[in-house]
Amino acid sequence: MSDEYENNKSGYQAQSSEAITGSSGSASPDIDYVRPAELPEQDLYHGHTFITKWIFCQDAKVIGVQYFLTAVFTGVVGLILSWLMRLQLGFPGLAGFITAEHYYQFVTMHGMIMVVYFLTALFLGGFGNYLIPLMVGARDMVFPYVNMLSFWMFFVAVAILMASFFVPGGPTGAGWTLYPPQTILEGTPGSGMGILLMLVSLALFVIGFTMGGLNYMITVLQARTRGMTLMRMPLTVWGIFTATVLAMLAFPALLVSAIMMTLDKVIGTSFFMPTILKAGEVLEYGGGSPILFQHLFWFFGHPEVYIVALPAFGIVSDLISVHARKNIFGYRMMVWAIVGIGALSFFVWAHHMYVSGMNPWFGFFFATTTLIIAVPTAMKVYNWILTLWRGNIRINTVMLWCLGFIVTFVNGGITGIFLGNVSVDVPLSDTYFVVAHFHMVMGIAPVMVIMGAIYHWFPLITGRLLNETLGKWHFWATFLGAYSIYFPMHYLGFIGVPRRYYEMYDSPYMTSAVGMNEFISLAAFLVGAAQFILIFNIIKTLKTGKPAPKNPWKANSLEWHTSTQPPEHGNFGERLPVVHRWPYDFSVPGSKDDFIPQTTPPSEVVHTKVEKT
């Protein structure tokens, strides 16, 4: 093949006019022309020992799996914490060891673990590392050594976070938003070592993530294979890439607030600490601004929502397209929607602070920007549905998770419109309505995508297909169970049950909330337990599962067209793939198969009705 490229030195512009007409022959090689490689082959480090191959490994795929496993471990811890919380809420006093302090610690750690150490690390560290190089046709991430450091920094951050469970006073119980001044004052659980370890762990997470994020961004921008333009990338890569950009710009605010709060805690500065009267005595602190922390935290916190959501949007688009055997509807609009949501996410943060007190015009501004986000988001939902419309849908486990995602996401999105409006948000603030909203939209919905992605890419990573029957049980238990948990919570919010309360005592909500709380708790135990079906399924499959055929889902994107499956170090064997089209050429009229891989040259499909992409 390479000889043909040599002949065509005239370049990029020649491709459209003379080059095609000028040459002879029917299936002219010129329509297959792709510019020669700009860069030499990547210089890779090949591990030889067990340690360099599997532990301090520089292969993005191994790093991805390492991220994945570490994140899942923290996720299981978060899950167990949620069980303990529901045990207390549904059946107060049944478990005597859960004191009010413990309850607050569980709430805090559950929130922080799930948002930062589970979802962010899983999507960007796990799927990002594994899929980006494979999907853009690179040998590896551009800086494998920095990538390895990134994982180990994350690992240390997780270790420090877990260590905070075992220090005197336990982990911090200030709520996952860590609002000062109460976070670092005595009386809050874990205001000693607990909060300190949390802040250090967050700072390390940010540093570790920055190393990884630079890799993801430069790999997408500067290390794509021949023919892979930005508009031929799978939406998965677009989602992860945009989320990484957000993270690179949003995590600095978290880092800065963590540094400032650490100084407040350790050496007694008053960045966030106003003058405080405690038991008739004025504390040493004074003159600081607690609202400043809220601004910094939510300038990180709101983009963080989309750091989790955008990779999920991207992945689910690919899964739906593959399993409905149809091209994604409105690819370019999907890309621009991802980018638009990402950009808008930096202008909405204060909608988390309506009740902190602000100038009404600011509330008006942030409510407007918040509602504008609904436009690109709704566009994506319509496009998913239009992709499904008249598709050749395979109702397998992956598709079930995708359908579950769409429903859940729409549900959570609509309650988001409620909460984005100041006047509706103020009465609903700090009630279970908020809990229901964000668990639907950034808890359950992204987790559904993760599950779908696991069933989809498991054969690629391990070479074996997960059991479908167990998968369907897993899906239905999770889907129905999750709705049993969060649907009633909307109602709890409307009757005014406040969140983060250890117990309701004899409040007026009691009559109608008691039974519902018990029901929610039972459902929560069930959903949690259902996740062990997946773990059982994975273990069983690894031992006795049936080997997956090559490209079992008949997908087009590059990760399924490697020389071996699972892909080896260097990903693509001798030659890097050359890309001629987008990854969504499914069910093309006139085509032999119902899919045309990205590597198929145009000359092989001239008789089909494939469009130029």
Partner 1 sequence: MSDPKIDGFELKPGFRGMASDTGSDQTMFKGVHWGKAMMWIFLLSDTFVFSCFLISYMKGRGSTPAEWPNPSEVFALDAFGVPVPLLLIALMTFVLITSSGTMALAVKYGYEKNRKMCGWLVLATAVGGLTFVGMQAYEWSKLIHEGVRPWGNPFGAAQFGSFFFMITGFHGFHVSIGVIFLFIYAYKVFAGHYENGGKRGWFTTMKGDYVEIEILGLYWHFVDLVWVFIFAFFYLW
DSSP string across 298-320? HHHHHHHHHHHHHHHHHHHHHHH
Report the nearest approach of partner 1 to the CB of residue 376 (Å): 20
Looking at residue 174, its amino acid is: A
Residues 528, 531, 536, 542, Cα dihedral to 10°: -150
Pick the piece of the chain touching partner 1 (CB under 8 A) from 78-86, 281-289, 422-430, 594-602: 281-289
Report the nearest approach of partner 1 to the CB of residue 532 (Å): 39
Pick the piece of the chain touching partner 1 (CB under 8 A) from 196-204, 287-295, 411-419, 429-437: 287-295
DSSP string across 454-482? HHHHHHHHHSBPPPHHHHHHHHHHHHHHH
Interior CA angle at 311 toward 310 and 312, to 5°? Answer: 85
Report the nearest approach of partner 1 to the CB of residue 606 (Å): 22
Alpha carbon distances (Å) from 297 to 119, 293, 301:
18, 6, 6
Pick the piece of the chain touching partner 1 (CB under 8 A) from 81-89, 175-183, 264-272, 530-538: 264-272
DSSP string across 241-252? HHHHHHHHHHHH
Does residue 20 belong to the site contacting partner 1 (CB under 8 A)?
no
Alpha carbon 456 to chain centroid, angstroms: 16
- Of residues 125 and 404, the one with the C-beta less far from partner 1: 125
Does residue 349 belong to the site contacting partner 1 (CB under 8 A)?
no
Report the nearest approach of partner 1 to the CB of residue 303 (Å): 11
Pick the piece of the chain touching partner 1 (CB under 8 A) from 29-37, 121-129, 478-486, 586-594: 29-37
Residues near 97 by beta carbon (within 8 Å), at least 6 away in sequence: none
Q: Cβ(192)–Cβ(168) under 8 Å?
A: yes
Q: Which of 54, 91, 145, 389 binds partner 1 (CB under 8 A)?
A: 145
Angle between helices 432-439 and 397-420 (to 10 degrees): 140
CA-CA distance, 191 to 261, in Å (whole number)? 12
**Which residues lie across from 323 on neighbouring strands?**
none
- The H or E element that residue 278 is part of is strand 277-278
Place of tokens 């990779």: 311
Q: Which of 1, 4, 20, 35 binds partner 1 (CB under 8 A)?
A: 35
Q: Cβ(436)–Cβ(416) under 8 Å?
A: no
Mind spelling out the 3-state secondary structure of 99-146? Answer: CHHHHHHHHHHHHHHHHHHHHHHHHHHHHHHHHHHHHHCCCCCCCHHH
Q: Cβ(564)–Cβ(570) under 8 Å?
A: no
Closest CA to 228 of 603, 582, 588, 610: 582
Classify residue 113 as left (phi > 0), alpha (psi -120 to 50) or beta: alpha
- Of residues 299 and 438, the one with the C-beta less far from partner 1: 299
Pick the piece of the chain touching partner 1 (CB under 8 A) from 191-199, 290-298, 399-407, 565-573: 290-298
Does residue 228 belong to the site contacting partner 1 (CB under 8 A)?
yes
Does residue 296 belong to the site contacting partner 1 (CB under 8 A)?
yes
Q: Which of 28, 269, 587, 603 binds partner 1 (CB under 8 A)?
A: 269
Does residue 143 belong to the site contacting partner 1 (CB under 8 A)?
yes
CA-CA distance, 170 to 190, in Å (whole number)? 5
Q: Which of 76, 256, 333, 461 binds partner 1 (CB under 8 A)?
A: 256
Q: Which of 230, 414, 510, 539 binds partner 1 (CB under 8 A)?
A: 230
Does residue 226 belong to the site contacting partner 1 (CB under 8 A)?
yes
Does residue 23 belong to the site contacting partner 1 (CB under 8 A)?
no
Helix (H, G, I), strand (E, B), or coil: what is residue 195? helix
- Of residues 25 and 287, the one with the C-beta less far from partner 1: 287
Give me 134's structure tokens. Answer: 């494979």
Q: Which of 27, 80, 94, 268 binds partner 1 (CB under 8 A)?
A: 268
Q: Which of 25, 40, 187, 287 binds partner 1 (CB under 8 A)?
A: 287
Pick the piece of the chain touching partner 1 (CB under 8 A) from 59-67, 219-227, 388-396, 483-491: 219-227
Q: Which of 17, 25, 26, 38 binds partner 1 (CB under 8 A)?
A: 38
- Of residues 202 and 255, the one with the C-beta less far from partner 1: 255
Closest CA to 478 of 418, 405, 548, 543: 405
Q: Which of 118, 251, 432, 582 binds partner 1 (CB under 8 A)?
A: 251
- Of residues 106 and 241, the one with the C-beta less far from partner 1: 241
CA-CA distance, 69 to 65, in Å (whole number)? 6
Give me 40's structure tokens. Answer: 């030499």
Report the nearest approach of partner 1 to the CB of residue 207 (Å): 11
Pick the piece of the chain touching partner 1 (CB under 8 A) from 34-42, 110-118, 150-158, 444-452: 34-42
Residues between 424 and 483 with contacts to partner 1, criterion CB under 8 A: none
Q: Which of 184, 214, 307, 513 binds partner 1 (CB under 8 A)?
A: 214
Pick the piece of the chain touching partner 1 (CB under 8 A) from 256-264, 434-442, 583-591, 593-601: 256-264
Does residue 9 belong to the site contacting partner 1 (CB under 8 A)?
yes
Report the nearest approach of partner 1 to the CB of residue 555 (Å): 21
Binding residues vs partner 1 (CB under 8 A): 8-13, 34-39, 43, 45, 142-143, 145, 210, 213-214, 217-218, 221-232, 248-249, 251-253, 255-257, 259-260, 263, 267-271, 284, 286-289, 292, 295-296, 299, 579
